[in-house]
Amino acid sequence: MASRKWKPSVTGPVARHYEDDALRTEIAALLARLPADHVARLAFDTGAPTLDVQRLVDDIVLVDAIGKAYGRWRDRLALIPPGHFNPYR
C-alpha cells in the first residue's frame, strides 16, 4: 500500500452536507470490498466527501463504480424542478 495519508480539514456532516444518505450508503457498500484499514475507508468513515474518497482508491474498477454512483446522485439532483427548494445546489 502506498504511504498516502488523508487528513480531514473538516469532518462529519459539515464536510458532506451536500451528499444524501442514499449516496453514502451506496459508497459504503462499494468500499466494503477494501480492507478495513484502507486509507479510502478510513477517510470515508471520518466524513470525507465522495470525490476525495474516490481519489484514494487504487482499483480502477472500484474508481469507476464510485464515479457512476456519484453520477447517479447528480442525475437525481437534476430532476428537482426549477424554482423548488434544492439544498444541494
Stretch 73-81: mean pLDDT, rounded? 78
> Model confidence at 33, in pLDDT bands (50, 70, 90)?
very high
Give the whole-angstrom CA distance, residue 53 versus residue 57. Answer: 7
**Does residue 23 form part of some domain?**
yes
Nearest residue to 40 (alpha-carbon basis) of 26, 25, 52, 23: 52
**Does residue 25 form part of some domain?**
yes
Whole-prediction pTM: 0.71
Counting the structural domains of the chain, the total is 1
Which cell is 78 given?
A: 437534476
Q: What is the mean pLDDT of the chain?
A: 80
Can you give the residue range of the structural domain that contains 49? 16-78
